[in-house]
């Protein structure tokens, strides 16, 4: 049982990566082997629209045909029993490299073919339980008013549609800077941010630990 975490945060050791580690700890507590991949360790490209994965008789088997440095990451994701993806909210959307990964991971698994009135599923009966963890400055109120449910939730919907199971966890009002006094960030109250970090972030970590556990159980059930 292998669970892979994909970090779409450029910053190591901050909110997104911390939550992903927790999710992997949860998965490991259920007996899974785990690995975390940092997308920002490499310059990666998104889908190039070659459509090799949509050509008649293609043998891509759900794997993006482009042989570049994204490929080993995609292979790991496709071979995993469960996957957890973490991204900061960047202007209402997953970060650029999270998008690049999602395009190249999910789109080759999407078939436009129909058999007996049913959309062909490239994964067949296989389900890859997945979770999307978003971290952001916004609190729950702004999450609603900024329509993040739609813009961020679209990724989770696509994961669900293609992989067969997806859940989403939002970590709000994150600590963004170590020292707010050195930043042009007067709209934030550093004390409120620090308090949130001390009281809510441990709860977020526990929730992500439980996500890791749940994904392993789902993966076992679906075998
Ligand atoms: C380019 C950029 C755009 C951002 N846009 C938003 C945004 O639209 N809404 C929001 O709530 N937070 C936004 N943020 C804040 C980050 O989502 C937040 O600080 C996140 O927790 C950072 O993740 P990290 O701690 O893993 O680096 C933005 C940050 C950056 C760098």
pLDDT, tens only, 78-115: 999 999 999 999 999 999 999 999 999 999 999 999 99
| Residue 59 CA, ligand 1 centroid: distance in Å | 39
- Average pLDDT score over residue span 151-157: 98
Nearest CA to ligand 1 atom 16: 136
Q: Please give the Cα distance from 106 to 210 (Å, whole number).
A: 25
Provide the strand spans (E) within 64-155.
Answer: 82-90, 93-94, 114-115, 118-119, 130-135
On average, the pLDDT of the chain sits at: 97
How many structural domains does the chain have?
1
Nearest CA to ligand 1 atom 8: 91
| Residue 89 CA, ligand 1 centroid: distance in Å | 5
Band of the pLDDT at 19, cuts 50, 70, 90? very high
**Which atom of ligand 1 is nearest to 10's Cα?**
27
Nearest CA to ligand 1 atom 29: 90
- Read out DSSP for 149-211? HHHTHHHHHHHHHHHS-EEEEEE-S----S-GGGSS-TTS-HHHHHHHHHHTHHHHHHHHHHH
Q: Please give the Cα distance from 136 to 170 (Å, whole number).
A: 8
Any atom of ligand 1 within 6 Å of the Cβ of 175: no
- Read out DSSP for 9-32? -SSTTSHHHHHHHHHHHHHHHTT-
**Which atom of ligand 1 is nearest to 137's Cα?**
11
| Residue 149 CA, ligand 1 centroid: distance in Å | 16
Judged on CB neighbours under 10 Å (0-12, 13-18, 19+), 30 is middle
Band of the pLDDT at 213, cuts 50, 70, 90? very high
CATH of the domain at 115: 3.40.50.360
- Note the pLDDT tens digit of each residue in 37-60: 999 999 999 999 999 999 999 999
- Residue 207 domain boundaries: 2-221
pLDDT over 90 at 223, yes or no? no
Dihedral (CA of 10, 11, 13, 15) sign:
negative
Nearest CA to ligand 1 atom 7: 91
Nearest CA to ligand 1 atom 19: 176
Alpha-carbon dihedral angle through residues 137, 141, 145, 148, given to the nearest 10 degrees: 50
Q: What is the pLDDT of residue 203?
A: 98
């Amino acid at each position: 049982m292998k669970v892979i975490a994909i970090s779409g945060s450029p910053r190591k050791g901050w909110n997104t990566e911390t939550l992903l580690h927790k999710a992997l700890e949860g998965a490991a507590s259920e007996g899974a082997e785990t690995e975390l991949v940092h997308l920002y360790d490499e310059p990666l490209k998104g889908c190039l629209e070659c459509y090799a994965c949509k050509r008649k008789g293609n043998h891509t088997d759900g794997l993006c045909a482009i042989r570049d440095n994204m490929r080993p990451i995609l292979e790991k994701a496709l071979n995993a029993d469960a996957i957890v993806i973490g991204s900061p909210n960047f202007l209402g959307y997953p970060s650029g490299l999270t998008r690049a990964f999602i395009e190249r991971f999910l789109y080759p698994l999407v078939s436009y073919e129909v058999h007996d009135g049913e959309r062909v599923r490239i994964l067949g009966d296989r389900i890859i339980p997945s979770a999307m963890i978003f971290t952001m400055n916004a609190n729950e109120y702004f999450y609603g008013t900024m329509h993040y449910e739609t813009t961020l939730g679209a990724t989770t919907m696509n994961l669900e549609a293609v992989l067969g199971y997806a859940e989403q966890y939002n970590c709000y009002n994150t600590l963004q800077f170590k020292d707010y006094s050195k930043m042009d960030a007067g709209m934030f109250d550093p004390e409120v941010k620090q308090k949130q970090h001390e009281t809510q972030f441990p709860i977020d970590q526990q929730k992500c630990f439980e996500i890791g556990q749940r994904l392993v159980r789902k993966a076992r059930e679906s075998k």
